[in-house]
Structure 1
Amino acid sequence: MRWVKGALDSEDEAATRPMSTPPLRYGLSVLAAVLALLVSFALDPFVEPDPFPELFLAAVMVSAWYGGLGPGLLATGVSLLGAARLLFAPAITPTTTGVSMGLDLLTFLIAAVLISWLSAALRTARRQAEEATRRKTEFLAVLGHELRNPMGAITTAVRVLTEASVDGSREAKQREIIGRQTRRLSALVDDLLDVSRVVSGKILLERRPVDLADVARRCVESLEGTAARRHEIVLSVADEPLLVEADLTRLEQVVSNLLDNAVKYTPPHGRIVVTVARHGAEAVVRVTDSGIGIPNDMLPRIFEPFIQVSASLPRAGGGLGLGLALVRGLVELHGGSVTARSAGPDQGSEFEVCLPAIPETTVPALPLPGRDGPSPPAQPRHVLVVEDRADVRDALRALLEVWGHHVEVAEDGPVGVEMARLSRPEIALVDIGLPGFDGYQVAERLRAAPAGRGVFLVALSGYGQAEDRRRALAAGFDVHLLKPVDPEELARVLAEMPASGGASRS
């Protein structure tokens, strides 16, 4: 298997392996041929006919597979030199030996050419597949970033209108619809990007002890009001905490996707039951619904990307068919499993997630972050918004001014750094993808200047992986917010920031 892996290594992998340099590959081919010769000498008295052709052919094939055509031909030459010993065998005539060696030479040459060609073709195919995967991942990351910018502008603009509106008006109802559909669009983009990250192995889990029962409660409570009113949703959890070692955000994503799936395919007034219990050494969460069910031929493929029960069925919730694929990927990253069951169409369905449970005697779960109501209004602040997209910049400025803050804006990195040095704002909201200096450079330059060390820096980014957050904090930011920025989260940051700005940043 090491030979096969070596032949299929990518260029980066091959460059890091100790036997990837040409001298070592050629040396290996000589070593393989000499080893075949020695084994042939050792077996000659005991094996009839002489075993050398098969042994040398194996040496040639290994050399060509691993090193390419050149080492394969070198192994062929060394093998024929070893075979020349037959000329000194008294029982074999020179004519017979010459014919035999000629046939062996032809066999070895054909093997060297074919094996080296096959090895090169497989390496090329692997490189092309890796390049295609890399380009797809990069495309999805850029797509998500670009989609989040207009969604951020829409979200912020709707919030500005809501802050200035009269409750109960007809316009308020339309704003609710816009806000709800914007959140839906944001969730679709997140699912698309997360599935790509799971497939490419780029999701890093931040594990800690988590109570699975609390996660299920939070997910049920967070359902949209309409979904909760149209369905009977029952939550059944164990009395004692049920701990698992998990990434809280990703675990909530798993349970929420299963709930969303149940709501989507369960008719109004249908029943959805969420059960959390311990089964032996496993923690199990089960979501059962009385919905449209799953045909038997669809069950084996239900967790594949872009698979939906039937394109002909009414799709009340729409979607890309990525939610269940993401569930399976995240559950498997946690070392668990997920299964789907259904008796058939119109018989409802059941999804069961099993995760390794933490023994009850170990450390208790850390408290989950609270989901309180709106944050209290922050005292008026001097805010600098550094954002190159005019609509996003104007919407943020309008929202912050509605909240009573004094706001200045800059459209690129160099202008943002200069304005921060001159006006010394208390807080700066800085987009990461800026022209001139990017957001990381803005933060580094401000932290290096006396006028910027006390500014509370908030990164606004379309990239939300753990590595993106760590990079933002390393550059000097105090907080990393994912676009589209949730107005409630922004209000909480403004209300809870220390009075001394960024001076207390850890």
Structure 2
Amino acid sequence: RTTRLHALTASLSESVSVTAVAKAIVEQARIVVGAAEGELKLLGDNHEPGEAGLCTTNAIKTGRPVFVGSLAESHESYWLSAARAADNGFASMAALPLMVKGGPLGVLEFHFNAPVNFDEEYQALLISVAQHCTQALDRARLYETAERARSDAERANRLKDEFVSTVSHELRTPLNAILGWASMLRTDSMDSEVFPQAVESIYRNASRQAKLVDDLLDFARMAGGRTTIDMDRIDAPNLIRGIVESVSPLAAGSQVDIQLSPIPDATLRGDVKRLEQVFVNLLGNSLKFTPAGGRIMVSARIVDRVLEIRVADTGIGIEPEFLPYVFERFRQGDGTTTRNHSGLGLGLSIAKQLVEAHKGTIRAESAGKGKGTAFVVTLPISGQEAERAAAAAAEPPVDVRLDGVHVLVVDDEKDTRDLIGRALEDRGALISVADNSEDAIEILERDDIDVLLADIAMPGEDGYSLIRRIRSGGNRLASIPAAAVTAHARDDERTRALAAGFHVHMAKPVEPSEIVRMVNHLAHDRRVSRRSSM
């Protein structure tokens, strides 16, 4: 017996995986104890003991071995084990739990053809075999857990490397067009008829790069748990109709037909901008992967107080093996250098997190390559009738005038000062500029400034310090309307700017029309404040 026990120990030591250890136990342990048959049952994470009437179930529940010398002894307590043993011609049996610190790993069961006298010495042998098997299984389990963790880490690092490579490529591609056309414009080396093409290319690629940066910032916010959701009542038909209308020009340009089915009346509770972002991402994804002549179908229905919105296309579809990973960060169906479609692969991951932040769900469906894709979003319907929204202040018309409004633009980047200044001067504003905080204070004290627009990151004294100095001055400048126009776009940076004393925070890049609207709003507040103090 000692020799056979050593052979079992050696076999277990050589086995690395749980499967190999289990095989060694079944083949070798039976021989060591002289049993006719050996059986190993491994438990799952839930540690379910098994059926009543089995000696193995009792061994797992109590954590103690069960020895049955003859079937006559077991009929009352272990009737199911006795019946199975009799059917197979066995006369006695033993069940030994394989116990570790966290609970039972499983149970080892032996069957014998003849009645067995389980004396102390024999019981000690059986328990010793069970302990050897337990240690080997536990070691193999820990090894496999460590191997899975290592494999997962390597996979995560590989995906991140691919993602960084993709980011570099996606940012450099539009930058190449921007710098190329800008260089030709600077050297005045192009014909006048090519000028509109150059301007359009610069604008299109700059917009593309801004979208990439926005996606990266959204991804960073979500990864850090800093996403803010401003809940409000939303009319679902208006929301979906507006989104479809906004992407229709892009679809027409790609020769893709968008079909919108009637949307049932429903009121959602959520963040309009974030939900718009979700469906723009989904429609943009469908446009990207649907060839000319294809269709995108948008429909919705109400199911159990939930609005189910479906965005389906006739595009290239998704391979079955990639479908489970379609919403994962850093994952793309084609991450090779020969891929046909650009993008960072973050849009669907962002969409999933935003939907889940609204207590909704999102799933992808595809019958395979070349068979189209459908994304299905479910959002809970508001339990109350939609309230009449207060009359929102009308957007200022496109031809809004800023005549008589004196604006100070503070930014260390000359191009930014020139851009903002030109946009406001075109609407009649009077512009003063400064490239640092000291010059800004001098102009504010000398001139009658109506609105201050300031960058945050500037050499010497930053925008936070500038606005704090102004607010703490105790003079006429302390109440001047001010906006931070900055590339510091994170939520915590917005909060910091408002806390420092800015009335508005605008993240670069900013459309000139947005600057005009914002200055008009601030100047209006300034005029109202002055009239009330008179």
TM-score for both structures, normalised by structure 2: 0.59
Q: Are the equivalent residues in 2 in contact too, given 1:456–1:502 (CA < 8 A)?
A: no
Say if 2:275 is the partner of 1:251: yes
Q: For 1:196 and 1:257, how far apart are their aligned partners in 2?
A: 17
Higher helix share: 1
Tell me which amino acid in the other structure corresponds to 2:234. Answer: V
Task: String of CA shifts for 1:197-249, please: whole Å, max 9, x gaps.
Answer: 21221112111122232222222222273433421111224242x22221221
The 1:433–1:181 alpha-carbon spacing in structure 2 relative to 1, beyond 3 Å, is same
Q: Are the equivalent residues in 1 in contact too, given 2:281–2:351 (CA < 8 A)?
A: yes
Say if 2:238 is the partner of 1:180: no
Tell me which amino acid in the other structure corresponds to 1:496. Answer: H
More deviation, 366-375/352-361: 366-375
Deviation at 1:413, TM superposition (A): 2.0
More deviation, 467-476/252-261: 467-476
The 1:500–1:198 alpha-carbon spacing in structure 2 relative to 1, beyond 3 Å, is closer
The 1:367–1:451 alpha-carbon spacing in structure 2 relative to 1, beyond 3 Å, is closer
Tell me which amino acid in the other structure corresponds to 2:496. Answer: R
Q: For 2:432 and 2:217, how far apart are their aligned partners in 1?
A: 33
More deviation, 284-293/314-323: 314-323
Aligned to 1:67: none
Q: For 1:319 and 1:360, how far apart are their aligned partners in 2?
A: 40
Alignment of 1:273-292 (within 5 A): 273-292=297-316
Aligned to 1:353: 377
Count of residue correspondences: 358
Residue in structure 2 matching 1:377, options 398, 401, 416: 401
The 1:172–1:501 alpha-carbon spacing in structure 2 relative to 1, beyond 3 Å, is farther
Tell me which amino acid in the other structure corresponds to 1:286. Answer: R
Instruction: Say which SS state the counterpart of residue 222 (structure 1) adopts.
Output: helix
Say if 2:222 is the partner of 1:198: yes
Q: For 2:365 and 2:396, how far apart are their aligned partners in 1?
A: 36
Say if 2:466 is the partner of 1:442: yes
Task: String of CA shifts for 1:272-294, please: whole Å, max 9, x gaps.
Answer: 11223322121222111110000
Aligned to 1:68: none
Task: String of CA shifts for 1:54-113, please: whole Å, max 9, x gaps.
Answer: xxxx9xx9xxxxxxxxxxxxxxxxxxxxxxxxxxxxxxxxxxxxxxxxxxxxxxxxxxxx
The 1:496–1:202 alpha-carbon spacing in structure 2 relative to 1, beyond 3 Å, is closer
Identity of aligned residues (%): 36
Deviation at 1:370, TM superposition (A): 7.6
Q: Are the equivalent residues in 1 in contact too, given 2:236–2:263 (CA < 8 A)?
A: no
Residue in structure 2 matching 1:474, options 490, 499, 509: 499
Q: Which has the larger radius of gyration?
A: 2
Say if 2:324 is the partner of 1:300: yes
Stretches of structure 2 lacking an aligned partner (at least 5 in a row): 1-100, 103-152, 154-159, 186-191
The 1:483–1:448 alpha-carbon spacing in structure 2 relative to 1, beyond 3 Å, is same
Q: For 1:188 and 1:370, how far apart are their aligned partners in 2?
A: 31
Q: Are the equivalent residues in 2 in contact too, given 1:457–1:502 (CA < 8 A)?
A: no
The 1:452–1:413 alpha-carbon spacing in structure 2 relative to 1, beyond 3 Å, is same
Say if 2:477 is the partner of 1:452: yes
Alignment of 1:139-288 (within 5 A): 170-223=194-247, 225-229=249-253, 230-240=255-265, 242-288=266-312
Residue in structure 2 matching 1:484, options 509, 515, 522: 509
Task: String of CA shifts for 1:150-178, please: whole Å, max 9, x gaps.
Answer: 99xx89x99xx9xxxxxx96523432232
The 1:435–1:490 alpha-carbon spacing in structure 2 relative to 1, beyond 3 Å, is same
C-alpha RMSD of matched pairs (Å):
3.9
Q: For 1:284 and 1:400, how far apart are their aligned partners in 2?
A: 44
Q: For 2:290 and 2:305, how far apart are their aligned partners in 1?
A: 32
Task: String of CA shifts for 1:134-165, please: whole Å, max 9, x gaps.
Answer: xx9xxx9xx9xxx9xx99xx89x99xx9xxxx
Task: String of CA shifts for 1:25-51, please: whole Å, max 9, x gaps.
Answer: xxxxxxxxxxxxxxxxxxxxxxxxxxx
Instruction: Say which SS state the counterpart of residue 435 (structure 1) adopts.
Output: coil
Stretches of structure 1 lacking an aligned partner (at least 5 in a row): 1-57, 62-128, 130-135, 162-167
Q: For 1:370 and 1:306, how far apart are their aligned partners in 2?
A: 41
Residue in structure 2 matching 1:497, options 522, 529, 532: 522
Tell me which amino acid in the other structure corresponds to 2:317. Answer: G
Structure ranking higher on relative contact order (CA contacts 8 Å, 6+ apart): 1
Aligned to 1:76: none
